[in-house]
Amino acid sequence: MPDQPAPNWNRFVRERLPALPVAPAREAEIIEELAGQLEEAYQEALARGLNDAAARDTAERQFSPDEALKLSREIAAASPARRPPAIPGFAGGGARPFSGIAADVRFALRQLLLNPYFASFAILLAALGVGANTAIFSVVNAVLFRPLPYENPAQLVAIETRAVADPSLEPWTSYLDYVDLRARTRSFERIAAISPVWNVVIRAEGETERLETLFATAGIFPLLGVRPRLGRVFTEQEDQQGRPAPVAVLSHSYWMRRFRRDPGVIGRTLAIEDRSITVVGVLPESFRYHGLTPGAAQGEIDLWVPLSANPLMSRGREVRFLKVAGRLNPGVSAAQAAAELDAFGRAMAAQYPDSNRGLATSVRPFVDLATGRVRTALLVLLGVVGLVLLIACASLANLLLARAAGRSREIAIRIAMGASRARLLRQLVTESMVVAALGGLAGAGLAHFMVRAILRFAPATLPRKEEIAVDPQSLGFLLCASIVTGLVAGLAPAFQAWRGELYDSLKDGARSTPAGAQRLRAALVVVEVAVSVILLSAAGLLVHSFARMLGSDPGFRAAGLVTLSTQNPASVSTPAQRAALYRALEERIAALPGVEGVAAVSRLPLMGVNLGSMIQIEGRTFERGQQPEVEYRRSTPGYFATMGIPILKGRAFDERDSDPRNQVVVINEALARKFFPAEDPVGRRIALGPVTNTPRWITIIGVAGSVRHSGLDLEAPPEVYQPYAYSPMTAPILVVRASEARLPEIRAAVRAVNPGIALYNAYSMPQLLDRAVTPRRFPMLLLAGFALLALVLAAAGLYGVIAQGVEQRSREIGVRMALGAARGDVLRMVLRGGLRLAAAGIAVGFAGSFAVTRLMSTMLYEVSPRDPLTFTLAPLVLLLVAIAASVIPAARASRIDPAVILRGA
Amino acid sequence: MKPRQDVPRGLPEMLVLSLVEERARHGYEIAKFIEVRSGGELQYHVASLYPILYRLEQRGWIQGRWVEKPGERRRRFYRITASGRKALGAQRQSWKDFVDAIERIAPFRHA
């Protein structure tokens, strides 16, 4: 027999003795005294010549569980305080229903301290479940649930004018329609409009930079209920059509960045392009505008100027460039407003058929603009993390059940000695609540770090990102989640106790878990496996979509390509000057070592900013309003070669194509396929712009490969390219075939040509590609992480149940083997048991995932919500994991030595 | 030999009091003395003796004190108090009256 460590009688007494209703110090003394006496009994037995095991046994018999319980009861009866139900699990007292809670909690804490492995695992489970949920809740709450940070945000709506034929097109409103909206509708207390400004260059103290700027009607600030932190916002008088006042309102961050919070900024003038404007106000720090289309601005709006300063104001009804927002009159519902707008839209279409036929006007909650596009992904994540909590609860319940089984004798004795079921239940639930509370505490820390990681890796386009934090609401959620976890996980063992199965186990005198408990544990494992299948399927769909997207051809060669956006200084004003400036830039950059090509384009792929144009095709007629729209770009001749966009038919531009009277165009493959499916488009003519009787025909000279301009997961729309020479750009975007390391030299070259050129958005193309996939990668990574966690928990649960089953059946297995069962038979028997559980879980999960993944269709790309690959792999992975989890206990079972088992029995 | 289960109420208290009357003793020593002096007729486990000590101390009839000796676990020694002595006297008298009464009805031995 191996040498055993000396018995620790203190620990022994502590374990056997229920909490005493005395001061902790006094309790410790009592335990010490009792332990001392047991030690003496033990030493005396050794001295009498007994071996160690027999001596231990002699001493232990001095302190049987029944006697220990009786002892604690008698001490309770004799103690002066006479707190009645002082011993967990005992009836009695009852005058103060919660008087025993403190003792229950103390008892539970002591149980945890005595079982550090159990305790840390249980607390870890609760922390993972609660922490992950709190983190995701913090994000979803800040982005989706919390009202927008404006006055009465529920009344705010977006007023949208869409093409009936293609509602997926981004809605824009013309200025004249906006004026009519204000004059002819009654549903709104106030209507305001904004228009994104593409590029604004500001020159202050000699440095040139580009600002995110928004044209807005004066009404936008009162509409949102925002009051300036400093100065004032601009007024209706300053926003009169044709007479814009040269004023601007600054964002808090720009004020900080550029003026270092100088309150004297009010009244100062800024040089913007060729004009100077006066700062009249600074907006509050917390203010963000959430109504922008993604891509309309790269970040926060720095500068607000009156809409009347926008030259498009004077254009007709066809020129739609505004986003309109309104505040509903009190008592007017969104449906009433929608009805009025519908009638308004019809009236406009009847009155102005040339511009408004085929358009419909409607309302949408303003919050949709801010968060509509992330809603599905965030809700799916919240659901997923809820499932993770479910698994954590099931695992925790399983763990508690296994422990309750180990303590069934103790519990049975308590019942036998008169503990009421309710009292016992309370003790068991208290234990799981204590675990959940400690888990919640650890979960709060976990949530904090998870939220920080999420903020770090979340796409820049995630709306309301700055509002995300673990705040009091998150902590309230954490508290609720912890309580729910404690209750749900405590329910299983409590239910077991309630049914009295544990009591039965005492009568049997067996040390095994009652059959019901084993069944309950098996059911919990089935739940875990089922939920894992669902999560794995959901994650699999996203991963598959992501792989598809990565595999999709952007249409150009991104590697070894850099880009830099520029904005010409106001001094370069005529087309000839602009062309000359660009030529100088191109020459200078092309001469740099390591540069293989230079070109410029009006709108870069994947930057989120595109421009459309209507087209006509010679020989075909389109109704007004039914005219197709195409993407429009201007580029230098070298653009296709530099970008690596193949020319499929005809030719690209060259220097000859610079005469605006004899215009040419290169179309993309998508356009060729859509409008010239059976013929060669080269040599055919098209016209750009709305239908007129005297179209200016432009000859198609070539077909270029399609480029996914709007996103890797969006099909390339039909598109036309025109030579930049017809109208040289004021803000050419440079593309240079060179390594990223050359960017500083390229910047220096630009500055050497003209220091007044503003430089911004310097990227390597692979970086832009990467940015384009972030919005998909982010939910995918989170979901995959949660699915993995679920898988591990389910595997651990499966292993635990099977291992315990083997341990309990070791006698049976021993008998079987003694009667001639081969090791292989035993192995198969145990494996079969594990696989039966896994199969049940997989079947339930398989059915469940079909229901769940249907909700995700908008998050998928080129992958069906019933993707056969995913729905084969997810169950297969679970099956393999189940086999792995069963093999170890099965192997152990097959190694059982029948002789040892039968002798030991 | 099996120890007796049907010990009359109040008897264990008196036994403990009389044992610590002689001198201060610790718990296990008391249990041993009861077992040895009764010839095994009376036996107390550590767990069943302790509540008696606890009760007596609560009543103020005995007083426990930790005593440390070098190289040994410290032990709690109990000694009788003045009120314990008075209670013991009363109990002895009461038991004596009781035994005398029984003797008169059912004599233990014939003289």
Chain A closest-CA separation from residue B111 CA (Å): 42
Which residue among B48, B54, B73 places its CB closest to the CB of A67? B48
Determine the pLDDT at residue A84.
39
Between CA A296 and CA A22 the distance in angstroms is: 70
Between CA A74 and CA A72 the distance in angstroms is: 5
What are the backbone dihedrals phi and psi of residue A576, each rounded to the nearest 5 degrees, phi first? -65, -40
Residues 6+ apart with CB under 8 A from A259: A250, A265
- Domain holding B99, by residue range, is 11-105
Closest CA to A140 of A391, A365, A473: A473
Dihedral sign computed on CA atoms, order A556, A558, A561, A565 = positive
CB A281 within 8 A of CB A233: yes
Which residue among B26, B46, B58 places its CB closest to the CB of A38? B46
One-letter amino acid at A185 equals T
Is residue A174 helix, strand or coil? strand
The H or E element spanning position A571 is: none
Chain B interface test: which of A9, A26, A40, A44 (most B C-beta within 10 Å) = A40
CB A466 within 8 A of CB A143: no
Chain B closest-CA separation from residue A66 CA (Å): 9
Structure tokens at A547: 């792989």
Chain B closest-CA separation from residue A33 CA (Å): 7
Q: Are A78 and B76 an interchain contact pair (Cβ–Cβ within 8 Å)?
A: no
Cβ neighbours of B46 in A, within 8 Å: 34, 37-38, 41, 62-63
Is residue A528 helix, strand or coil? helix
Chain A interface test: which of B25, B32, B36, B50 (most A C-beta within 10 Å) = B50
Q: How many domains does chain B have?
A: 1
Determine the pLDDT at residue A670.
93
- Counting one residue from chain A and one from chain B, the pairs whose CB atoms sit within 8 A come to 60
In a domain, B110, yes or no: no
Residues 6+ apart with CB under 8 A from A633: A601, A602, A603, A611, A719, A720, A721, A722
Restricting to B residues 78-107, those with a Cβ less than 8 Å away from any Cβ of A are: none
Determine the pLDDT at residue A292.
78
Which residue among A36, A62, A78 places its CB closest to the CB of B45? A62
**How long a stretch of residues is chain A?**
905
Cβ neighbours of B45 in A, within 8 Å: 61-64, 67
Closest CA to A488 of A394, A361, A556, A387: A394
What are the backbone dihedrals phi and psi of residue A838, each rounded to the nearest 5 degrees, phi first? -60, -45
Q: Are A36 and B73 an interchain contact pair (Cβ–Cβ within 8 Å)?
A: yes
Structure tokens at A817: 């083997």
Q: Are A39 and B58 an interchain contact pair (Cβ–Cβ within 8 Å)?
A: no
Q: Are B28 and A40 an interchain contact pair (Cβ–Cβ within 8 Å)?
A: yes
Which residue among B47, B74, B75 places its CB closest to the CB of A71? B47
pTM of this prediction exceeds 0.80: no
Q: Going from the first residue of chain A to its last (905 residues), give the mean pLDDT of each consecutive group of 10, the final group possibly shorter.
A: 73 84 83 90 89 89 85 79 42 47 82 84 91 94 92 93 80 91 93 77 62 88 93 90 88 89 90 82 91 66 88 81 92 93 94 87 90 87 91 88 72 67 78 93 95 88 87 94 91 72 49 65 89 91 88 89 87 87 94 93 76 82 75 92 94 86 91 91 89 85 90 85 87 92 92 86 86 84 90 84 79 82 86 89 92 84 88 91 86 80 61
User: SS3 helix, strand, coil % of chain B, rounded to 5?
Assistant: 55, 15, 30
Q: How many CB atoms lie within 10 A of CB A856?
A: 22
Is residue A729 helix, strand or coil? coil
Determine the pLDDT at residue A232.
93
Restricting to B residues 37-76, those with a Cβ less than 8 Å away from any Cβ of A are: 45-48, 50-51, 54-55, 58, 73-76
Residues 6+ apart with CB under 8 A from A350: none
Chain B closest-CA separation from residue A71 CA (Å): 6
Closest CA to B61 of B98, B91, B106: B91
Between CA A741 and CA A57 the distance in angstroms is: 78
Determine the pLDDT at residue B111.
47
In a domain, B5, yes or no: no
CB A581 within 8 A of CB A568: yes
Q: Are A70 and B47 an interchain contact pair (Cβ–Cβ within 8 Å)?
A: yes
Q: Are B46 and A37 an interchain contact pair (Cβ–Cβ within 8 Å)?
A: yes
Using a CB–CB cut-off of 8 Å, the residues of A that contact B are 29-30, 32-34, 36-41, 61-64, 67-68, 70-71, 74-75, 78-80
One-letter amino acid at A792 equals V
Closest CA to A481 of A522, A440, A512, A526: A440
Determine the pLDDT at residue A281.
95
Which residue among A29, A39, A70 places its CB closest to the CB of B73? A39
In a domain, B67, yes or no: yes
Determine the pLDDT at residue A299.
65
In a domain, B62, yes or no: yes
ipTM of the complex: 0.91
**Higher-confidence position of B2 and A49:** A49
Between CA A283 and CA A293 the distance in angstroms is: 21
Nearest CA in chain A to B53: A75
Query: Vertex A126, ends A120 and A128: CA angle to 5°?
Result: 95
Structure tokens at A197: 């400004």
In a domain, B42, yes or no: yes
**Higher-confidence position of B106 and A787:** A787
CB of B12 within 8 Å of a chain A CB? The answer is no
Closest CA to A130 of A366, A482, A558: A482
Q: How many helices (H) and strands (E) does chain B have?
A: 4, 3
Q: Are B48 and A70 an interchain contact pair (Cβ–Cβ within 8 Å)?
A: yes
Is residue A128 helix, strand or coil? helix
Q: How many CB atoms lie within 10 A of CB A40?
A: 22
In a domain, B87, yes or no: yes
Chain A closest-CA separation from residue B87 CA (Å): 18
Cβ neighbours of B28 in A, within 8 Å: 36-37, 40-41
Structure tokens at A242: 């044709």
Tokens 């009792």 locate to: A34
In a domain, B4, yes or no: no
CB A62 within 8 A of CB A7: no
Q: Give the CATH number of the domain where residue B33 resides.
A: 1.10.10.10
In a domain, B6, yes or no: no
